[in-house]
Chains A and B, each alone.
Chain A
Amino acid sequence: MKAPRNKKKWIMISTVMIALLIFFARIGNTAPFENGIARATAPFTASAAYAWRTASGLGMTAFDMKNAREEVGVLREENQQLQETVMKNAELARENEALRAQLGVGAARARTLVDAKLIAFDPLSFTHYAVINRGARDGVREQMPVIMPGDVVFGKITNVRETTSEVMLITDNENKVSGVTAADTASGVLAGIQGSALLLDLIEKNAAISLNELVVTSGLDGVYPRGLSIGTIIKIISEEKGIFQQAHLAPAYKNTLPATVFIITGQQ
């Protein structure tokens, strides 16, 4: 008889605890406690992330070796094309510099970057966040954009602690970004949709967009500077009755645990 009474007792305690947790989630005054736990567990999480990156990296190396011969051929071809592009770009850069000098416009603005390591991803599948090992003591502030090598948008800082920060990924539903096609023919507002795809909404009905077109940040949202890669268009939705077009995008950032990301802490 004793066991069922004990069971009832802790079931009641659990129910009260769940109600209290929902209440505290509603009033949202838990930051000091949350920050304390994050600070205490961050070293362990960072070590686990490092171990996982190393292990999955080894696995990928073995996988890559299998396809190495095929890839070498493709990469050689790509390399030749890229060398041509680099030469053209160098020429364009010289031309650009000369034109800027003639017009009296200063050089392109340089960014101040802080590198960071990803130590964890959001454990829930409904929200898309990541935690990095840089915080307030490294000069990180809320709303700072986070990018990956190659000027690829990763997300923005939403919560800063002393040594760590939370990054809302570009694929999160709440992360609204102003985007424009690379050819500057169409613009719209981006947000994450189910899974890890992106939806570019509010595109003018008559704007020209095409599949596989690159979408970059427009700089109009006040968070992300202009010209950062967001993703490529994989589906276009244009209904006859609608005023706007929509497009689904595959995000440019690779959905793995990347070793390093960069926080844009300032623009000169």
Chain B
Amino acid sequence: MNAAIFFVVGIAVVLQLTVAHQMQELGAPFNFVLAGAVLLGFFYGNYRGVAIAVFIAGLVLDAYSGAPYGTITAGLLAAATVPAMISGVVPREHFLHFLLYGIAGTLSFYGTVLITMKAANFSFSIPWTAAAQAIMVAIAGMVVLYGIYQWSILLKNRRNGR
């Protein structure tokens, strides 16, 4: 299971460094690694494995970012940790459980990133509009991916006559 987590996070890192910029230019600043962290944590429940994988991914991404080193790592670690803390509040089968999980992960990531950037450089002005846009795109993207996953399961069950 850990190998699958590392593989998915690795692919997400590559996408983040190449494709994400073009998506951002189109007005959809989607974060593949954040989505990977939230979805893997939700589906596999291996929060610790996900946290280790995104910690390493964060160290790599930080080397390519203009933000102070450690910013993305701290954000991703928060995104893997905070949802795990609140998991269990809503029954797992309920759709709201994923929504809550996704919102918690996204807010933790962007909250930590902005706090770290502000802490590193007090003159940094928080780009509220860009942050709100990034949060909305991330949550919407995760819900779409979750929907696709659930739909594929439904199709599979139907095919098997269940």
Question: Which residues of A does B touch, CB under 8 Å?
Answer: 6-7, 10-11, 14-15, 17-18, 21-22, 24-26, 28, 30-31, 33-35, 37-38, 41, 44-45, 48-49, 52, 56, 120-129, 131, 158, 166, 168, 172-173, 194-196, 255-257
Contacts and interface: CB of A to CB of B under 8 A. Distances in A.
B25 interface: yes
Given A121-B20, A123-B64, A128-B66, A18 B120 contact: no
Contacts of A49: 17-18
Given A14-B77, A128-B66, A255 B22 contact: yes
A31 B18 CA distance: 23
Given A18-B77, A125-B130, A195-B130, A45 B71 contact: no
A22 B59 contact: no
Contacts of A166: 66
A37 B19 CA distance: 21
Contacts of B25: 196, 255-256
B74 A18 contact: yes
A251 B134 CA distance: 22
Contacts of A257: 18, 21-22
Interface in B98-153: 112-117, 119-120, 125, 127, 129-131, 134
Contacts of B61: 123
Nearest to A196: B25
Interface stretch (B35-43, B78-86, B89-97): B78-86
B14 interface: yes
Interface stretch (B1-9, B47-55, B154-162): B47-55
6 contacts: A11-B81, A18-B78, A22-B115, A30-B69, A31-B69, A125-B31
Contacts of A10: 47-48, 51, 81
B130 A38 contact: no
A191 B116 CA distance: 23
A18 B55 CA distance: 10
A59 to B, nearest CB: 11
A41 B27 CA distance: 28
A122 B65 contact: yes
Contact of A195 (B16, B27, B31): B27
B97 to A, nearest CB: 17
Nearest to A169: B66
Contact of B63 (A17, A26, A37, A48): A37
